[in-house]
Structure 1
């Protein structure tokens, strides 16, 4: 008979397999060279597929401890890709509503931040893929800055999850502390993300119609992300057995973690399908981007270059 945990893994596998193809469609539709956040959704779906497959394998073969360990580790690193996706989408919105500042455009040419980001795992991977970190305002650069602790927290949680599965009590204690440290970083990033999204929401009237869909997706996703982070905090900071990461209720995990993750991915993917894509058409004297839609339809006034136009900060 299939256990509740195995049933949950099967359900995740059935959900994330088609979502992976949809997210990849969105990534290639908008271009992998653009920093839009959708690439992290594809990575998240892949993590969930591998984790669910390992969980099913562990249920079929309980003697294989390695499958169970890696399934638990991959299950604990879902917050980071979703936060990175949210930061990327919010940056897209911010670039539409904030005053532009000169920028070199590439991650390697953005001073100490570009240097620091390039030495992270994500920076190296996306640097090789040609993913450029374009910042057009100070708020936009701050959003880029938040990606660095999100990547660091991801690494901390992976190391902590690995230590938790160790047979040594001291290693398990260290693993728990590392995961708690990573969760605190995630919480701080979430608070910043919430405040910056609220700021962007006050400027919704200055956004093109397509970009409003992205902002609405963020507004829908933020409470769901909050519940997801709350579940992890309760799992590692409270002594309530229901939220235990190893022996907790499968139903609580399904409705406070798995469901929220699925809804966030669906919201962001739909936004990626509905929002028009754009490309960099030209650069003015201050190296500001002027974006034009890849369509022959009517061009929104906000995409056209306007001399002397004042931007909302």
Structure 2
């Protein structure tokens, strides 16, 4: 609550200050906070499968904003269509993650045994693919970063700083999906592992993105 409450307020502020067209990176942060509120075991399991989506979408939203700014003054090999393609794959991963979370929780309630649904496994694979796509997009956009407006260049730096933390958060999600070990399993996971390998990374990404938004 100490982190989420002020960060949520900043995200809402950024949405209004930047306007809807330029706020893709921040209204997905608001969605992330709303998705992170767990009220039941079923919701916890479902959210575990899709919590990466808003962070990915926030990153893609910022990349799209930067690319649009660059394309005002120069031609780029990187196209907005590629970012939209990644968003489409991410949407499929989100849907499969929800389906897998529902099936996982239903099986757990019926049998008392937690089994990972095929949909959850496919969703994890798609999240890995989307992360690679984000990295490729960042590299391609960086080739034309010199044509960006002075302020907008900060977006590229914020994404570059956040990508390693996003990777760690992705690894935690993937391991949680496929591992039956007590440290990562969703039902018996270690609080220390959760904090160090998931929550801190989320906090850093949010702080970096919102800090950048406040300076733009």
So what's the TM-score if we normalise by structure 1? Answer: 0.62
Give the Å deviation of 1:76: 3.5
1:217 partnered with 2:158: yes
Other-structure match for 1:10: none
Give the Å deviation of 1:227: 0.4
Report if aligned partners of 1:17, 1:45 keep a CA contact under 8 Å in 2: no
SS of residue in 2 equivalent to 1:14: coil
Give the Å deviation of 1:99: 7.4
Other-structure match for 2:141: 200
Other-structure match for 1:83: 56
Structure 1 residues 35 and 17: alpha-carbon distance in aligned structure 2, compared to 1, 3 A threshold: closer
Give the Å deviation of 1:17: 1.6
* Distance (Å, rounded) in 2 between the aligned partners of 1:35 and 1:147: 16
Match of 1:37 among 4, 19, 25: 25
* Distance (Å, rounded) in 1 between the aligned partners of 2:48 and 2:179: 19
1:146-185 counterparts in 2 under 5 A? 146-166=86-106, 167-168=109-110, 173=115, 175-185=116-126
Give the Å deviation of 1:161: 1.3
* Distance (Å, rounded) in 1 between the aligned partners of 2:48 and 2:178: 18
* Distance (Å, rounded) in 2 between the aligned partners of 1:232 and 1:176: 14
1:227 partnered with 2:168: yes
| Bigger Cα Rg | 1
Q: Which has the higher contact order (CA 8 A, sep 6+)?
A: 2
Deviation sequence 1:211-233 (CA, Å, 0-9, x none): 11111110011111100011111
Structure 1 residues 190 and 259: alpha-carbon distance in aligned structure 2, compared to 1, 3 A threshold: same
Aligned residues: 213
* Distance (Å, rounded) in 1 between the aligned partners of 2:89 and 2:97: 12
Give the Å deviation of 1:138: 5.9
* Higher helix proportion (structure 1 or 2): 2
Report if aligned partners of 1:231, 1:256 keep a CA contact under 8 Å in 2: yes
Give the Å deviation of 1:239: 4.1
Report if aligned partners of 2:25, 2:57 keep a CA contact under 8 Å in 1: yes
Deviation sequence 1:61-100 (CA, Å, 0-9, x none): xxxxxx2222332244210011011111111111233478
Other-structure match for 1:188: 129
So what's the TM-score if we normalise by structure 2? Answer: 0.88
Unaligned runs of 5+ in 2: none
SS of residue in 2 equivalent to 1:208: coil
Unaligned runs of 5+ in 1: 1-12, 55-66, 102-135, 276-313
Give the Å deviation of 1:35: 5.6
Give the Å deviation of 1:137: 7.9
Other-structure match for 1:142: 82
SS of residue in 1 equivalent to 2:123: helix
